[in-house]
Structure 1
Amino acid sequence: MEMRTHQSHLIMNTGTMAYRNLLKTMHNPDKVLDVVVQPILFMLMFSFLFGSAIAGNVHAYLPIIVPGILMQSLLSAASGSGSQINEDLHSGIYDRFKSLPIAHIAPLAGQLFADILRLFIAAVASLGTGFLLGWRPAGGFGWVVAVVLLDVFLGWAMSWIFAFYGILAKSATMVESVSLMTMLVLSFLSTAFVPMNQLPQAMQVIVHLNPVTYVIQASRMMLNHGVWTNQAWIVLGAGIVVVFIFAPLTVWAYNRKS
């Protein structure tokens, strides 16, 4: 009975902390920009800049660019976890949390669970913009749901890495800089914007080693052909491994810091 009460207490505390972090996101223009505006802006910009050069026209380019922008947006949204945690640690708010009758792990758990909704918002912004531009998933709506769930899960797994770094870093500015560079390298050195066969041979080797390439390729196959490939299994397995490794590390670092 006592264990059940403790679990319900932890769930309530985590829900409250998650709600707090979502409110902070919605009331912070920088965070809203990352989650909502950036996916829309990148979808419009890259579609009209590169559509004609790569695929002949914007409409033909959308099946290529939509999965790429989706993953880029989720990486950007996931990176916000690290800077938010770092800001809270250095602002002293966690010291205030320790004086409250709440579960010790609730602030961290609340941040990571709030990230799930942030990732879904970024996914809807990306796919919704593509739909308004004329993109239609040939695989059907069911495969859209499958892609969103898979990509959001991987984005949430990446949130643990960014959160771990956010706890260890000395400043939120450093977290944001490293997160931005990581997002740009992973997205631009992948097949997010250009098909593999249009890249130089040396670049293909680098792109092939990039894990984000597997996510985008798997997403394209599901959205455009309605097929669950081996790459999708690799992506799912990689996400599980990342959570298995970084969740305990993040909790350990959090307990030491707070």
Structure 2
Amino acid sequence: MSTATAKTELEGVELAAPDQERLSALLVGQERPPRPSALSASMTFGWRAMLKIKHVPEQLFDVTAFPIMLVLMYTYLFGGALAGSTEEYIQFLLPGIMVMSVVMITMYTGVAVNTDIAKGVFDRFRTLPIWRPAPMVGYLLGDVLRYLLASAVMLGIGMIIGFRPDGGVLGVLAGVALLIVFSFAFSWIWTMFGLLLRSEKSVMGVSMMVIFPLTFLSNVFVDPKTMPGWLQAFVNNSPVTHLATAVRELMEGDWPASDIAWTLGWAGVLLVVFGAVTMRLYNRK
């Protein structure tokens, strides 16, 4: 019985030998495929981030249900008191609340990074022959879809309850584009925290401590002229204030060159500073 089994195994090896030789010749005789470009690798990781949304659709609640709740709640709670009517207040509120919501959503990038580190996925990424920042850039590219979806949901519900942008389609698209550019740069702060902190709960806690003061101490809800002088000094120089003003005026049909320049300048600083810190932490992790 054992002799027959050994003979069968030997025949299997002999039959497989030509295949092994052909495989060896193919591997040795052919040139290695080229390394993927930085863009290709980043887009691949971006696609991975979108596939995670496909498999866990519940994570879209923060870009669908949450923005709708914010728009309805603030419009009908404060519209009559602050502007005399909800129809008038929604014209001021919607661009600002859209900025606030999308900026708040950016913190989930850091949570996703920290989760992958805890699961050991990043150990595999570091061994791949790819452009080193590709996993980080991929996270942010995937989240751009979330930012676009949140913006579309808020614009849709705003149009239903009375928002009418005087800038038309071009003004709305320009405002959303500026918001996406800033949010992409702002997300690098959370990738840094995702690498630096030990758990996703700590990433979430630190993110909320930064985002809430930054978004509420701005002109999202009210004109800063009603605030005390010392608070106006902070609010008027906040990056969220410049962004909200730029998006609001673009949707109204104006061209706020100063606020656009400030917003793009802030985005550049955030990208350079926190992008460099993130990659340093990633290389040393």
Same fold per superposition (TM over 0.5): yes
Q: CA deviation at 1:98?
A: 4.3
Hey, what does 2:244 align to over in structure 1? 216
| 8 Å Cα contact 2:243/2:263 also seen in 1 | yes
- Report the residue type matching 1:207 in the other structure: V
**Counterpart residue type for residue 241 of structure 1:** V
Shift in Å at residue 27 of structure 1?
4.1
On the 8 A contact 1:73/1:126 being kept in 2, the answer is no
Q: Distance in 2 between matches of 1:103 and 1:222?
A: 37
- Per-residue CA deviation, residues 76-105 of structure 1 (Å, 9 max, x unaligned), is 221111111011111112223345565554
Please say if 1:198 is aligned against 2:230. Answer: no
Q: State the partner residue of 2:96.
A: 68
- Alpha-carbon separation, structure 2, partners of 1:209 and 1:30: 36
Letter in 1 for 2:270: V
- Match for 2:247: what amino acid? S
Aligned CA distance change for structure 1 residues 227 and 255 (closer, same or farther; 3 Å): same
CA gap 1:198/1:29 in 2 versus in 1, 3 angstroms: farther
Aligned to 2:265: 237
Determine the structure 1 residue equivalent to 2:203. Answer: 175
Aligned residues: 254
- Out of 1, 4, 13, the residue aligned to residue 41 of structure 2 is 13
Q: What is aligned with 2:138?
A: 110
Contact in 2 for aligned 1:221/1:229 (Cα 8 Å)? no
The reply to whether residue 163 of structure 1 matches residue 191 of structure 2 is: yes
Percent identity over paired residues: 35
Looking at structure 1, the residues matched to 54 and 70 of structure 2 have their Cα atoms a distance apart, in angstroms, of 20
5+ residue gaps, structure 1, are: none
TM-score in terms of structure 2 length:
0.81
Kept in 2, the 8 Å contact 1:87–1:172? The answer is: yes
Coordinate RMSD, CA, aligned: 2.2
- Moved segments of 4+, more than 6 Å: none
Normalising to structure 1: TM-score of the pair? 0.89
SS in 2 for 1:209: coil
Residue 148 (1) aligns with residue 176 (2): yes
Counterpart secondary structure, 1:14: helix
Instruction: Could you tell me which runs of 5 or more consecutive residues in structure 2 were left unpaired when the two chains were aligned.
Output: 1-30
